[in-house]
Amino acid sequence: MSRSSFHDQLSDLQQDILKMGTLVQEAIHKAVRSLAQKDPGLAEEVIEDDDRVDEMELDIEKRCLQLLALQQPMATDLRAIGTALKIITDLERMADHAVDVARVTVRLGGEPLIKPLVDIPRMAELAQTMVHEALHAYVDRDHQRALQMIEHDDEVDHLYGQIFRELLTYMMEDPKTIKQATHLLFVASHLERVADHATNLGEWIIYMVTGERKEMNK
């Protein structure tokens, strides 16, 4: 395989990773919207579409391993492929968290929400932004953009703490809210984990570009 062909295939991989990331962002958005709108049908779409993300992970992983075996890349190219393998693993786990959120919608079965959803959609929007920024930092090999993206994790953590305290107050004041409040806490936890996985992407992108491993998830 020529170097030109190798870099063409690497570019194709990057584009497919962007597509996989787009599917993940859409899954997060649809899962939270299904919850806010009490729409089990939309939630089922998220659950069913998870197979597409799984298939993309397997396909990209196979192609990465083929490039490693056939081309034996060095230095930055080797790190780029290694980073791709890490990114698709984190993306697949994010999609799983979106599915978990969608399953909460199904479990609630359209029952009235104990409160309007405000901070949970904000968490979801921040998490989607983090994924978007991380993926473009990967393609552009822009470690500064990755660092800036990671800073949003603190905002997500702050919102999670806010949601936790608010829902705990609901449960203490009215035991009838405990079941649903617990489900909503799980939703917030899943979104917090999505942001953690996005932070992982940022760490790997920084490594890809600089060769240095930095632990940013604390």
Mean pLDDT in runs of 10 for the chain (218 residues)? 75 94 97 96 97 97 91 83 95 98 94 92 96 93 95 96 96 95 97 97 94 75
In a domain, 127, yes or no: yes
* Measured CA distances, 212 to 29, 173, 197 (Å): 33, 49, 19
Q: What's the rounded Cα separation, in Å, for the pair 139 and 20?
A: 13
Q: Determine the distance from the C-alpha atom of residue 198 to the mean position of all C-alpha atoms in its chain, rounded to a whole number.
A: 6
In a domain, 215, yes or no: no
Q: Which residue range(s) make up the domain with 114?
A: 3-210
Q: Is residue 218 part of a domain?
A: no
CA-nearest of 1, 176, 197, 19 to 93 is: 197
The answer as to whether 217 is a domain residue is no
Of 106, 121, 133, 119, nearest in space to 205 by CA = 133
Please report whether residue 38 resides in a domain.
yes
| Amino acid identity at 49 | D
How many domains is the chain partitioned into structurally?
1
Instruction: Write down the pLDDT at residue 218.
Output: 56
Give the pLDDT score at 88. 97
Nearest-angstrom CA–CA distance, 25 and 130: 10
pTM score of the predicted model: 0.93
Give the per-residue pLDDT at 7. 80
Q: Is 216 within the bounds of a domain?
A: no
Give pLDDT, residue 214.
76
DSSP string over 163-210: HHHHHHHHHHH-GGGHHHHHHHHHHHHHHHHHHHHHHHHHHHHHHHHH
pLDDT confidence of residue 3: 62
Burial of 83 (0-12, 13-18, 19+ CB in 10 A): buried
User: Looking at residue 30, which CATH number applies to its domain?
Assistant: 1.20.58.220
Nearest to 130 by CA among 19, 14, 15, 28: 28
Note whether residue 64 is domain-resident: yes
pLDDT at residue number 217: 65
